[in-house]
Structure 1
Amino acid sequence: MKTKRNLIIFIVVVLLCGWLGVLVDRVISEQPKGDTLGMGIWLVLPLLTTIMLRTFAGDGWRDVGLLPNLKDNLKWYVFSLFVYPVVTSIVLLISYVFGWMDFSNFNINTVVSVFVGGLLPQFVKNFFEESVWRGYLTSKLSRLKVNDFWLYLIVGGVWGAWHIPYFLVFLSESDIIDVLPVNRWLFTLVGIVTMICWTVMYTEIYLMTKSIWPLVLMHMTEDALVNPLILDGYIKIAQGKEFLVSPTAGIITTLLYLMVGLMLRMKRKRLEERSVPTATSTAIVEN
């Protein structure tokens, strides 16, 4: 009962905090573009809420996932570092073969330099973000034995809905057009669907490792690599092909990540099935 109550409090705060930030920015109009107090409220309040719930509302700190749990999980750390670069490379290769992208501004040395330079700030940023979405929301829902697909839908839906004020207000029009040539409302819908699909992959890695650190690394590589490709103009997608091969929200891209997530789920289920007979056999021997 306590967990359900705290989850409701958390979700309500998450859904409202961005709009509180929008209201603050309307009152305080003179602020740096793209770095406003309202955006700060939107970014920080979910984390502060989890800290308050863990400290004062009985949630505790044991299930945050702060231990790296490296034993038997090293492969998932490697996987987390490379899944976004590999899928992005596949999408770029498909686009190159079919002439769906212009690579005239693409310079591998520059891209690698930008990627490496972005790793540390993205690592810090995504430690706080993954402490919220996986370390709190996913952790608490999994303890309630929520069905896998409901787990994906709830976590991905809340994660996506948290972004609604960002998509509708905070994000610049030019950045939206660079990713997909659509209006803000359609971009918001696509963004939420994309995050629900991505959530399968994030959830499965968390359930297998019981640690947020692989997710921090995975989210870090996504933000440091994928976003600059589009926003910094290293690639230009042919008109009409954005919905197919956008490295952030294209249909092909999103389906590839969804397939990866569902394959991870199959792997986890097989591992769980193997562990049950082992546990049973141990009990028989002890008796």
Structure 2
Amino acid sequence: MTATTATPARTRRPASRRGVLVYAVGVLTLSTAGGLVMASSPDPATSAGALLFVLSPLLLAVGLRTVGREGWADAGLRLGRERGWYAVALLLFPVLFAVPIVLGALTGDVRVPPGAGQRFLTLFATGLVARIAFAAFEELGWRGYLEPRLAALGVPALRRHLTVGALWAVWHVPYIVALGDEYTELPLAAQLPLFTVAVLAMAVIWGVVRDRTGSVWPSVLGHGMANAVAFPLLAADVVVIDSPLVHAARPEGLVVLPLLVLTAALVYRRWGRSVPSVLSGA
């Protein structure tokens, strides 16, 4: 029998604290730079700074996985297991956002003008692809890179999800500040703490979904669907909201936020404590 020598397959480098640190510092640096460019632009939402901001999680993840040779084995690019979570991801925020609108309509704080349904469907349909694309730019960083890198370092699940959520929330700050009144009617002193709690809750939900499925795509679809539904519902010609702090279809709205936190607690308690296997691209 003639012996043969197989060429060893290239494997990804093991997780390192340095890679996580580079990722964290990098996304915050790029988001700050994007926010500064946005603040100096006549139209911040469509400026080059806004594009740099939204691309930053993806740019850092791709850079570390390719230039840093960390590889893509744990990026979660396959459809994964437990695929019922895809339905949960797609339905979660449409259901949550319907609650304040319905309650507001019953109390008279929300009014729906004639033809609002058609305008909502038009805005939803025309924005859906872009919203999912922007969600992918984020999620391929947060749940595609940072979650599995922290998991490989042995960070426990809840602490990992909250760490990702804390960075995710801080990353948003330059964008929110640059948009100002375009983003929220609330003072930043109220907006930022409420928004941070909402982001932490979402990070727990999407982190558990990432653990259960081994795939990044449910969080991409869920994140994209949330934005695709929220933006039309925030348009003045779709619904008129007298108390936006309470009844707005936003994660930080005072009707949605407790429901979101409760959902995160239930999801983690029921499904987050035991995970089928270590995060992977299964």
Q: Shorter chain as normaliser: what TM range? A: 0.7 to 0.9
Structure 1 segments of 4+ aligned residues over 6 angstroms from their partners: none
Q: Secondary structure at the match of 1:221?
A: helix
- Tell me the distance in 1 between the aligned counterparts of 2:129 and 2:43: 23
Q: Is the 8 A contact 2:139 2:216 kept in 1?
A: yes
TM-superposed deviation, 1:89: 1.6
Q: Does 1:12 align with 2:25?
A: yes
Match runs of 1:1-287 below 5 Å? 2-24=15-37, 32-69=43-80, 71=81, 73-104=82-113, 107-169=116-178, 171-177=179-185, 182-239=186-243, 242-248=244-250, 249-269=252-272, 272=275
- Tell me the distance in 2 between the aligned counterparts of 1:264 and 1:186: 27
Distance 1:105 1:223, change over 3 A: farther
Q: Secondary structure at the match of 2:227?
A: helix
Distance 1:116 1:21, change over 3 A: closer
C-alpha RMSD of the superposition: 2.4
Residue identity matched to 1:104: P
The unaligned stretches of length 5 or more in structure 1 are 277-287
Residue identity matched to 2:106: V
TM-superposed deviation, 1:31: 6.1
- Tell me the distance in 2 between the aligned counterparts of 1:103 and 1:117: 21
Query: Whose RCO is larger (CA < 8 A, sep 6+)?
Result: 2
Kindly indicate which of the two structures has a greater share of residues assigned to helix.
Answer: 1
TM-superposed deviation, 1:195: 0.8
| TM-score, scaled relative to structure 1 | 0.82
Q: Is the 8 A contact 1:3 1:59 kept in 2?
A: no
Q: Secondary structure at the match of 2:154?
A: coil
| Number of aligned positions between the proteins | 263
| TM-score, scaled relative to structure 2 | 0.83
Identity of aligned residues (%): 25
Distance 1:236 1:207, change over 3 A: same
